[in-house]
Structure 1
């Protein structure tokens, strides 16, 4: 190699290094301050700071990404279709802004992918699934290209990890799209990629919020979930999203009483934060679990008055029906039963469950409902008393009989009484037969978790795989995702 060639090689390498070393968002203090506010749900403050900035060419990517994030978070939290309409040009405007970056700037494709991911999630919320799918495919192409060009640019793994997780939860009816585009899905791969975002990265909080949702909703391991959220809360005490996720996890893991006070306080954080209507829904859930029905109705009503979208609306009206019916107020309960039938959507699991119960020509078993709610909240003594009150003659059909064993299984499982839980889960599976109730596949999943914790891989795998033998029942997609993730961890 001549000295001239060597000089040109070194010059090109130096230029390449400088391009990769573009300043990260935290090296632009004004934009980073706005970004931090927006992640706390201090949307007005964050937007006000952005308005005061005339971004330089170097700041364009960070500026447009942060603006887009504010719009997306507002839509996702409010679920307001009018906001979706209001901001419908936002994605294109911000992508146009990103497009002004130099072609060899690694932030160009990274932020392009991130903005497409953000808006794909919004489109999915409003059932614009086809456009969401195309956006995710385009984002995947952007980030693959960026990885090939800049393999040491660590923010790539935030986008890539998020995409792999999103692909893994695509409904079964859309799996053909993944195959058509040759897209790979893997929750565990996505988790590992997100874990490459180190704590000194400005995107660490976003990456770990995503990981907490994966742990909570797919991997479903309390210790893993709470370890992430404990760390996030310790370092972000003034972040409303972190506090909300933390309390959602407490409720999920049957610690509703622990969540009650702190979740209530989140409604009084002040006007500097964008309010989360779902906080009232979750408070309603806690009070109905405690059998404090008037307080449950109060919070459910506050949720309905604030909720702009259709998710959780059917379930909320159904729960209001329950509060009256469980109090013995049958006439007003019937009014709300009919209201629940006619209102809301069936996109999220809670609404699907409500719709399933409302489709019956009779009300559910009172004590089984009470036991379920008390167990879910961690009010175990109340759940035991309720189940003991169930008389054999009140079990009027095979479905109720299967649910009776399932409720005992869940109760003992949450109490850590594994043998009692296994006995009841196996009875649930036996009593369910080939019916399309969710009790049996869920019992298989929970049985698999118990054997997984015991490191009995053979039995764990057997029950996780048995989940897939059940078809056409509510929660199938959710339970299947969890079984697949559990198998990947074995």
Structure 2
């Protein structure tokens, strides 16, 4: 019998020594299915698939990553404080397992970065800011390293892009922290990376599409509506995907398309196979409030408060319940929820901050202004204009009421694309409220920047976007400054 050539023996020995370190991590059809179920928020089904894969091979970085997706999405959707420590500990344990692997591959390095980023978000969601900052830093540095080692690995661009955008839009007052931790972002580069991950076929392509749309809405509300057809298409393609449905409701709500948002909400998939997602009901309560359906709005927010296990949006939900009861002339219930705003939850989200700030002034809303605001936020501009036209402004009208009156009129005319009228009232808003701790002047300046940018009057756009950044004593400071900063970065 012929003996094999020594070279082939050497090659076989080489493969035996080196193949295991590259063969542990892989993506198969079972894990692809698990990821699909996870993205639909069918977390129990995804967990069952991933668990079987981990029993088969507990050193597969892809299995560890997808196991983490399920814990991370549970934290985000359910926000159950009683489960937080267990779910965060599980994420840290997976990182330890990945660090212990001898395998050096793109999946291992990517899983480390992705899980670290999810851990940072989980910690931030529950107020652990210091821990979140350092995990965010580690994730970002890992993603940058991955980009150099594996430039053709498209999924890495998804999370790297998100982090670049977030770091690039940090308000100036927090720049000192970025300097301490040695980080810097680039919003334009981040959006480019994210868009590439959303356009090129890869496992995480649809997730990248969602993140791209959400970040555009967060940072560029003037152009965010361009993503609505894409998100609507995703929902049509996967009508059983609750996460896609949630993003469709959220983005249409933000775009002041209340009726379309309600259509998505009412058509959402419902069964015991999905993760509970109480926040959906809080969003729906807003949509019904915009429409003027106070009974249904009350029902949705009360259900949210019964089901929600977290500390966010408790003030906001009670605040909206106060509005719904007050507008429907149920004064005792309105008063009770007004008092609850101060007693529950935390002031971390801008929505909760606004609710707290409002009740701290011990003021009753102006009915005409409130109705104009709610109808306008839902895209019911004719009703909004009708309500605000009933309010008579005189020299004795308090300054905050005057400022809001001009601001609401500007928003209504802007929504109706009557730009000359919108510009006029935005400028009047700034003059009427610049010295008050209200967000009207800052948002008016931002909107003027957007309008002049669209009209290609770039000097005026720059002037008002910079002015929007200069207002700091209001509840929506961070988001407005971030949007103005992004818009400035895109000016020629």
1:394/1:265 Cα in 2 relative to 1: closer, same or farther (>3 Å)? farther
- Corresponding residue number in structure 2 for 1:63: 63
Specify the alignment match of 1:150 in structure 2.
150
Question: CA shift at 1:190, angstroms?
Answer: 1.1
Aligned counterpart, 1:382: 383
Conserved in 2, the CA contact under 8 Å of 1:368 and 1:387?
Answer: yes
For 1:195 and 1:46, how far apart are their aligned partners in 2?
A: 27
**1:299 aligned partner:** 300
Aligned to 1:34: 34
Q: What is the aligned partner in structure 2 of residue 224 from structure 1? A: 226
Q: Is residue 215–residue 224 contact of structure 1 (8 Å, CA) maintained in 2?
A: no
Query: 1:65 deviation in Å?
Result: 0.3
Deviations 1:235-285 (A, max 9, x none): 43321111110111111111111222330232x521121131112111211
Deviation at 1:394, TM superposition (A): 11
Aligned to 2:392: 391
**Corresponding position of 1:484:** 485
> Residues 284-320 of structure 1: CA distance to partner in whole angstroms, max 9, x if unpaired?
1112112221111111101111111121110111111
C-alpha deviation, 1:395, in angstroms: 7.0
Taking a change above 3 Å as real, the CA distance of residues 423 and 144 of structure 1, as seen in their structure-2 partners, is same
Note closer, same or farther for the CA distance 1:35–1:64 as it changes in structure 2 (3 Å cut): same
Aligned residue for 1:429?
A: 430
**When the two structures are superposed, what TM-score results if normalisation uses the length of structure 1?**
0.91
For structure 2, the residue ranges without an aligned partner over 5 or more in a row are 1-6
Residue by residue, what CA displacement relative to the aligned partner does 1:133-152 show, whole Å, maximum 9, x if unpaired?
A: 11011112222222332333
Correspondence for 1:245: 247
Compute the displacement of 1:230 (Å). Answer: 3.3
Structure 1 range deviating more: 86-95 or 367-376: 86-95
Moved more, 476-485 or 75-84: 75-84
How far has the Cα of 1:169 moved from its partner? 4.8
Indicate how the Cα distance of structure 1 residues 120 and 281 shifts in structure 2: closer, same or farther if over 3 A, else same. same
Quick one: structure 1 residues 248 and 317, their matched pair in 2 at CA, closer, same or farther if it must change by over 3 Å?
same
Partners of 1:151 and 1:265 lie apart in 2 by 40
Count of residues in correspondence between the two structures: 475
**Separation of aligned partners in 1, 2:193 and 2:219:** 16
Question: In the TM superposition, what whole-angstrom CA distance separates every residue of 1:368-427 from its partner, at most 9, and x where no partner exists?
Answer: 111101100011121111111113369731111011000000011111111111111010
Q: Which residue of 2 aligns with 1:259?
A: 261
**Cα gap change, 1:394/1:320 in structure 2, threshold over 3 Å: closer, same or farther?**
farther
**Does the residue aligned with 1:390 lie in a helix, a strand or coil?**
coil
Other structure's SS at 2:341 match: helix
1:60 positional shift: 0.9
* In 1, Cα distance between equivalents of 2:476 and 2:287: 22
Per the alignment, do residues 465 and 263 of structure 1 end up closer, same or farther by CA in structure 2, a change over 3 Å counting?
same
Segments of 5+ residues of structure 1 without an aligned counterpart are 1-6
> In the alignment, is the contact (CA less than 8 A) between 2:170 and 2:482 conserved in 1?
no
After superposing the two structures, state which structure 1 stretch, 48-57 or 329-338, moved more.
48-57
**CA-to-partner distance for each residue in 1:41-76, whole Å, 9 max, x for gaps?**
010110111222246669611000000010000011
Write the distance in 2 (CA, Å) between the matches of 1:25 and 1:300: 45
Q: Distance in 2 between matches of 1:185 and 1:41?
A: 31
More displaced stretch, 66-75 vs 449-458: 449-458
Which residue in the other structure is 1:4 paired with?
A: none
